[in-house]
Amino acid sequence: MRTPIVAANWKMYKTAREAEAFCREFLPQRSRARGVELVLLPPFTALEAVARALEGSEVALGAQNLFWEEEGAYTGEISPRMLGAAGCSYVVIGHSERRRLFGETDEHVHRKVAAALGHALLPIVCVGETLEEREAGRTEEVVVRQVKAAFHGLAADEVARCVVAYEPVWAIGTGRNATGEDANQICGLIRRTLAGLYGEGAASAVRLQYGGSVKPENAAEFARQPEIDGALVGGASLEPGKFIAIAEAFVP
């Protein structure tokens, strides 16, 4: 059985003080989502504050990005080692906003996944098609390409530790979510792709999230799909009550 995993991607929202206020309101409600692994993904500047707030809570901390080098002359970048030292156990890699706005390619995503695993950080690898690709009937081709590139050359036991988030780009921040069945079908395709490359054991261990306009009202639709093990939540994760309500839908 895979442990469900629900993560709050705060994107470029919340100062350290605002993040602490979130934790104060959120942590007393954590027990509503017993049996669900919860991950908070604040901006870099709030990592330390959230790490302190989460001490002893069994809520995990993650970052939204990293650079693959350990240290060096890379102005503006953050290394896997720095994230580990800040208390992160997860890191989001290849979010569509980074691919679209900051030029991240499949090759960058691959290097970041390898670097994260090399520093004991667990990648949450984002894949998903744009509206244009969907309308051209290319959803499956695009998702399979992104999955293959991200994990290329890794060992099965490394892949098994990863989380893959299927986030159709047209569903992010638009209020227009995929249907549970459509998302389940693409998650099934991701799992079959991984099984073909790394074996059934690794593929059945990988946790697959759906992301894109997840809210308390539609979370149950995704939670009941057999291939979907959790959610990567943007907008609705900024409010403690909404985030915990979404996580609650995934209680086994």
Nearer to ligand 13P by Cβ, of 83 and 202: the residue is: 83
Q: How far apart are CA 178 and CA 33, in angstroms?
A: 24
**In the set 4, 5, 6, 9, which binds ligand 13P (CB under 6 A)?**
9
**In the set 53, 143, 232, 244, which binds ligand 13P (CB under 6 A)?**
232
Kindly determine how many residues on this chain lie close enough to bind ligand 13P according to the rule CB under 6 A.
14
Asked if 211 interacts with ligand 13P (CB under 6 A), we say: yes
Q: How far is the CB of 124 from ligand 13P (least distance, A)?
A: 9
DSSP secondary structure, 97-130, as one string:
HHHHHS---HHHHHHHHHHHHHTTPEEEEEE---
User: Which element (helix H / strand E) includes 211?
Assistant: strand 207-211
Q: State the Cα torsion 75-77-82-83 to the nearest 10°.
A: 160
> Are the C-beta atoms of residues 42 and 50 closer than 8 Å to each other?
yes
Asked if 164 interacts with ligand 13P (CB under 6 A), we say: no
- Name residues contacting ligand 13P, limited to 80-139 (CB under 6 A): 95
Nearer to ligand 13P by Cβ, of 84 and 235: the residue is: 235
What are the tokens at 92?
A: 């989001």
Contact region for ligand 13P (CB under 6 A) — 28-36, 76-84, 179-187, 211-219? 211-219
Q: How far apart are CA 90 and CA 217, in angstroms?
A: 27
Active-site choice (97, 104, 167, 221): 167
Question: Residue with structure tokens 């049996």?
Answer: 35
Nearer to ligand 13P by Cβ, of 187 and 236: the residue is: 236
Concerning whether 167 is annotated as a catalytic residue, the answer is: yes
- 56, with CB counted inside 10 A (0-12, 13-18, 19+), is exposed
Asked if 214 interacts with ligand 13P (CB under 6 A), we say: yes
What are the tokens at 21?
A: 């206020």
Concerning whether 107 is annotated as a catalytic residue, the answer is: no
Q: How far apart are CA 214 and CA 233, in angstroms?
A: 6
Neighbours of 231 (CB within 10 A): 32
Closest CA to 46 of 72, 23, 75: 23
Asked if 172 interacts with ligand 13P (CB under 6 A), we say: yes
**In the set 194, 203, 233, 246, which binds ligand 13P (CB under 6 A)?**
233
Nearer to ligand 13P by Cβ, of 60 and 236: the residue is: 236
Adjacent-strand bridge partners of 7 = 39, 232
Asked if 249 interacts with ligand 13P (CB under 6 A), we say: no
Q: How far is the CB of 62 from ligand 13P (least distance, A)?
A: 11
> Annotated active-site positions, please?
95, 167
Binding footprint of ligand 13P on the chain (CB under 6 A): 9, 95, 167, 172-173, 211-214, 232-236
